[in-house]
């Protein structure tokens, strides 16, 4: 696959995917990073690995229409013949036109077990703090398709970890990151191999 990664922050999942390609585990190519933060860790990772970076945000395009803004994303990806999108800590809503064009070809990883602890502002340590305060005994990751509503796309894969009594949001975050880095690349590989399908409204991994 020819992948575009969307990222806003430190880029640890982005880097894990890059490393999986370098090691030959993934056969895909990352041709483009789209970010709303050109000073992010993800932007630095793209620079180190000679991956093209496009900075697209409302701060630099404040006056154009929503349709014109969507076209900034689509034209950027068309230029690099992108056929699959991976979100890796992208903190902005994806334009509907982008989701429509890449339906079932755009995925995200969420640091909790959806449908719990999802939605706007549920990211980073906010999620882990909410999990701990709820008294949940397990947390984990959810890899899902992206649709027009935050964190409500069909679930592709989940994996759990224990929430111990002495965990805080930071220790839980580290547990969940280990799951993210391990399993995100595994699911991307399943897409490479054509082993992910939707049957009767549910996602099946062969």
Which residues are catalytically annotated? 110
Q: List the structure tokens of 185.
A: 């690349």
Helices (H), the chain: 12-22, 41-48, 66-79, 96-101, 124-134, 169-192
Contact 42, 123 (CB under 8 A): no
Contact 86, 5 (CB under 8 A): yes
How far is the C-alpha of 163 from the C-alpha of 167, rounded, in Å? Answer: 6
How far is the C-alpha of 203 from the C-alpha of 150, rounded, in Å? Answer: 18
Q: Strand 2-6 vs strand 29-35: parallel, antiparallel, or unpaired?
A: parallel
How far is the C-alpha of 77 from the C-alpha of 52, rounded, in Å? Answer: 11
């Amino acid at each position: 696959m020819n992948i575009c990664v969307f990222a806003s922050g430190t880029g640890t999942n982005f880097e894990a995917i890059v490393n999986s390609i370098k090691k030959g585990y993934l056969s895909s190519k990352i041709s483009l990073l789209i970010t709303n933060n050109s000073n992010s860790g993800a932007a630095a990772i793209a620079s180190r690995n000679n991956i093209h970076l496009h900075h697209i945000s409302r701060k630099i395009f404040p006056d154009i229409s929503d349709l014109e803004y969507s076209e900034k994303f689509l034209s950027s990806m068309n230029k690099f013949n992108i056929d699959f999108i991976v979100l890796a800590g992208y903190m902005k809503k994806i334009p509907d036109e982008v989701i429509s064009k890449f339906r079932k070809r755009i995925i995200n990883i969420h640091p909790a077990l959806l449908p719990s602890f999802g939605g706007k502002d549920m990211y980073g340590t906010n999620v882990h703090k909410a999990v701990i305060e709820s008294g949940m005994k397990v947390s984990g990751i959810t890899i899902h398709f992206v649709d027009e509503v935050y964190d409500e796309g069909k679930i592709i894969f989940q994996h759990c970890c224990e929430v111990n009594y002495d965990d805080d949001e930071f220790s839980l975050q580290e547990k969940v990151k280990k799951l993210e880095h391990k399993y995100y690349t595994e699911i991307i590989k399943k897409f490479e191999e054509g082993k992910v399908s939707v049957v009767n409204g549910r996602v099946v991994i062969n």
